[in-house]
């Protein structure tokens, strides 16, 4: 297994290009199943999760061709000849569950493995299943698989989500586009990735209103046609790299960044003493002056502070002036980066869903272990400003969600290299 060596110290200056959003691409790709005509995605990120979704769609009979070094995905689902999403693929990536709604809407039947949990939590899919049942789906759980049927096709219905779920909103939104009649989704997720999916579905002929708000209304249509759609900028990669100059000093421009993607996050950066300026190319980030101030953070569904930036924010706050309290309210086990940061000299107390971080002057480099996708990058950020060398192991987690990390960070002056595993 590869690892990443970071030598701390030194300001960062220059530009970092931000890729298309992993979490948008992972729901846009299954949308190809809703039409027999080609769907082409541009600005696609080059990530292992995208390769896994490609494998899954190809196993169902879809054609997925990666062009322009992976930035264009030309897909066609003209001949879907398999309606079973196997455990061996689904267990690698939970977003595989997002083929369920589209397959059900297209052909009235699907068999999809339950994804199982992951490091950050149990990650149930009960809300996905209940939402599809509200559209008339008949579901049976057997041998770890969801067996879904909609013999007469899906029918429009009302979906009342008891809690906000990004994936469940995406699954039922895709299914509703081909259901007979009107679907209303209440307490829908409002993430930019939902709006991006709705934009793409509208280009395919879907009739959707209210995306980006808590209530989405869909008028079902008989069929959808092909389209070409650019994947929205990745707000989590954007926020992650905004923290690099915040932690190290210097000034970095994040190309493609827009304030509306990271509103709540920027409010916290401002309170911590970091300036963010919107330019015609993206977002320019720099420390205003001296030491970072401690701030409190509570993770919430969009437009609140994103859970996917909690680990990275903690890395910043480890050397802030004062004590910060971070509350993780989305997932039940998303502080696994804390013990690794403590190995670097951070002072963090974790009790249940709350982490209290008491700022220290400087972290010290150490060998640390990546435990999940966002934790892995928070350790790299911590290593960028730490004294001495930090070696982050198990970087396969990183490859799931961050393309060319070494290239992007060394491009602004970071001393970072990838070490091939034995």
Determine, following the binding rule CB under 6 A, whether residue 246 of this chain makes contact with ligand EPZ. no
Residue 201 exposed, middle or buried by CB count within 10 Å (0-12, 13-18, 19+):
buried
**Could you give the CA distance from residue 320 to residue 99 in angstroms, rounded to a whole number?**
43
Determine, following the binding rule CB under 6 A, whether residue 117 of this chain makes contact with ligand EPZ. no
Shortest Cβ 120–ligand EPZ spacing (Å) = 6
125 annotated binding-site participant: yes
The two structure tokens encoding residue 368: 């640390």
Residue 247 or residue 311: which is nearer to ligand EPZ going by CB?
A: 311
Residue 319 or residue 376: which is nearer to ligand EPZ going by CB?
A: 376
**Could you give the CA distance from residue 63 to residue 31 in angstroms, rounded to a whole number?**
13
Residue 125 or residue 216: which is nearer to ligand EPZ going by CB?
A: 125
Phi and psi dihedrals of 298, rounded to 5?
Answer: -125, 125
Could you tell me how many residues of this chain bind ligand EPZ (CB under 6 A)?
24
Q: Which of 54, 165, 177, 376 binds ligand EPZ (CB under 6 A)?
A: 165
Fill in the DSSP letter of residue 231: P
Q: Which of 1, 78, 82, 126 binds ligand EPZ (CB under 6 A)?
A: 126
Q: Please say if 118 is a catalytic residue.
A: yes
Residue with the shortest CB distance to ligand EPZ: 167
Fill in the DSSP letter of residue 360: -
Can you say whether residue 212 is alpha, beta or left, with left for phi > 0 and alpha for psi between -120 and 50 degrees?
Answer: left
Q: Which helix (H) or strand (E) holds 390?
A: strand 389-393
Residue 316 or residue 412: which is nearer to ligand EPZ going by CB?
A: 316
Q: Which of 124, 144, 322, 421 binds ligand EPZ (CB under 6 A)?
A: 124
Near ligand EPZ in 285-324, by CB under 6 A: 307-308
Q: What string marks each residue from 333 to 372 as x (binds ligand EPZ by CB under 6 A) or -?
A: ----------------------------------------
Residue 188 or residue 369: which is nearer to ligand EPZ going by CB?
A: 188
**Could you give the CA distance from residue 291 to residue 361 in angstroms, rounded to a whole number?**
9
**Could you give the CA distance from residue 397 to residue 46 in angstroms, rounded to a whole number?**
14
Q: Which of 185, 330, 375, 385 binds ligand EPZ (CB under 6 A)?
A: 330
Closest listed residue to residue 131, CA positions, set 74, 92, 189, 81: 189
| Cα pseudo-dihedral 377, 367, 122, 87, rounded to 10 | 90
Near ligand EPZ in 395-414, by CB under 6 A: 401
**Could you give the CA distance from residue 223 to residue 98 in angstroms, rounded to a whole number?**
19
Stretch in the footprint of ligand EPZ (CB under 6 A) among 123-131, 195-203, 210-218, 412-420: 123-131
Q: Which of 3, 23, 43, 77 binds ligand EPZ (CB under 6 A)?
A: 23
Determine which one of 25, 118, 266, 318 is catalytic: 118
Q: Which of 26, 29, 206, 297 binds ligand EPZ (CB under 6 A)?
A: 26
DSSP sequence for 14-59: EEEE--B-HHHHHHHTGGGGG-SS-EEEES----HHHHHHHHHHHH
Can you say whether residue 312 is alpha, beta or left, with left for phi > 0 and alpha for psi between -120 and 50 degrees?
Answer: alpha
123 annotated binding-site participant: yes
Question: Which residue is it, tokens 């001296």?
Answer: 290
State the residues that interact with ligand EPZ by CB under 6 A: 22-23, 26, 94-95, 121, 123-128, 163, 165-168, 307-308, 330-331, 373-374, 401
Where is the binding site, in residues? 22-23, 94, 123-127, 308, 330
The residues carrying an active-site annotation are 118
Where is the binding site for UDP-N-acetyl-alpha-D-glucosamine, in residues? 94, 123-127, 308, 330
Where is the binding site for phosphoenolpyruvate, in residues? 22-23
């Amino acid at each position: 297994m590869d690892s990443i060596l970071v030598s701390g110290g030194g300001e960062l200056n220059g530009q970092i290009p931000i890729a298309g959003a992993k979490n948008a691409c992972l729901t846009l790709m299954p949308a190809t199943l809703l039409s027999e005509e080609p769907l082409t995605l541009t600005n696609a990120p080059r990530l292992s999760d995208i390769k896994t979704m490609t494998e899954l769609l190809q196993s169902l009979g879809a054609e997925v061709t990666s062009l322009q070094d992976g930035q264009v995905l030309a897909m066609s689902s003209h001949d879907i000849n398999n309606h079973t999403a196997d455990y061996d693929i689904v267990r690698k990536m939970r977003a595989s569950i997002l083929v369920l709604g589209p397959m059900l809407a297209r052909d009235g039947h699907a068999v999809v493995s339950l994804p199982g949990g992951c490091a950050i939590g149990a990650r149930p899919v009960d809300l996905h299943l209940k939402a599809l049942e509200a559209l008339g789906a008949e579901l049976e759980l057997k041998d770890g698989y969801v067996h879904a049927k909609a013999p007469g096709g899906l029918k429009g219905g009302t979906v009342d989500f008891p809690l906000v779920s990004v994936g469940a909103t995406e699954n039922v939104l895709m299914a509703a586009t081909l259901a007979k009649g009107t679907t209303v989704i209440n307490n829908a997720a409002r993430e930019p990735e939902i709006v991006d999916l709705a934009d793409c579905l509208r280009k395919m002929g879907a009739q959707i209103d209210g995306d980006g708000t808590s209530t989405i209304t869909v008028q079902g249509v008989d069929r959808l046609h092909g389209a070409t759609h650019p994947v929205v900028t990745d707000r989590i990669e954007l926020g992650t790299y905004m923290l690099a100059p915040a932690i190290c000093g210097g000034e970095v421009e994040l190309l493609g960044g827009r304030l509306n993607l990271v509103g709540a996050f920027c409010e916290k950066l401002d309170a911590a003493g970091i300036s963010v300026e919107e330019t015609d190319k993206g977002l320019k980030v720099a420390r205003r002056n001296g030491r970072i101030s401690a701030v409190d953070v509570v993770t919430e569904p969009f437009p609140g502070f994103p859970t996917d930036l909690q680990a990275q924010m903690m890395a910043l706050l480890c050397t802030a002036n004062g004590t910060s309290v971070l509350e993780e309210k989305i997932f039940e086990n998303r502080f696994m980066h804390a013990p690794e940061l403590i190995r670097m000299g951070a002072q963090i107390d974790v009790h249940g869903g709350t982490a209290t971080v008491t700022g220290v002057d400087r972290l010290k480099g150490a060998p640390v272990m990546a435990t999940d996708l966002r934790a892995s990058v928070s350790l790299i950020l911590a290593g960028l400003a730490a004294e001495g060398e930090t070696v982050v192991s198990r970087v396969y987690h990183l490859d799931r969600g961050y393309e060319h990390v070494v290239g992007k960070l060394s491009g602004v002056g970071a001393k970072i290299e990838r070490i091939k595993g034995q």
